[in-house]
Amino acid sequence: PAPDAEGSDAAAAAAGGGGGSSSRGRERRQGGAAAAAGRPSHAMTRAPSKAQTKMVHSCIVKLIVQRVDPNYAEPWRTRTQTSSSGTGFLVSGRRIITNAHVVQNCTHVRARKSLSPVMFSCTVEWLSIPLDLAVLTVNEEDD
């Protein structure tokens, strides 16, 4: 037989009501998905260790992009070159994943690891505007 839905803490939590005096029902309402999965709600807010932070920083790169946007109204005229920046992350080998809008219409892309002054020249290997993803290949260190 099915349990009485009016008296169940799960039904009250799902409805957002305050039925029942169980502390577990309050955890579900207050802790969200973490409490519903049986984990304390504070587990999701724990600060990362120094090793984890160092590992993450070693994978993040800043991209400096020079671009010239097309002039569709007057295609015989070129617009001025602009510079922008974005972020990406290193994956296998010498590849970087970033958003396509960061490198769209680029003329030159350089990358530097997080907290490092050394710049590397990059080439756009793959670009998908509908997915807003791009894969870059790191060429060599800039002078």
Residue 33: per-residue pLDDT:
54
pLDDT score at 41? 55
Least confident of 9-18, 49-58, 111-120: 9-18
41, 31 Cβ separation under 8 angstroms? yes
Q: What is the pLDDT at residue 53?
A: 77
pLDDT band at 46 (very low <50, low <70, confident <90, very high): confident
pLDDT at 13 over 50: no
Entry pTM:
0.61
Mean pLDDT for 113-124 is 89
Collect contacts of 54-61 with beta carbons under 8 A, ≥24 apart.
57/113, 57/114, 57/115, 58/90, 58/113, 58/114, 59/89, 59/90, 60/87, 60/88, 60/89, 60/90, 60/113, 60/114, 61/87, 61/88, 61/89, 61/90, 61/96, 61/111, 61/112, 61/113, 61/114
Band the pLDDT of 12: cuts 50, 70, 90: very low
Largest CA distance in the chain: 77
Of 2-6, 18-22, 78-82, 103-107, which one has max mean pLDDT?
A: 103-107
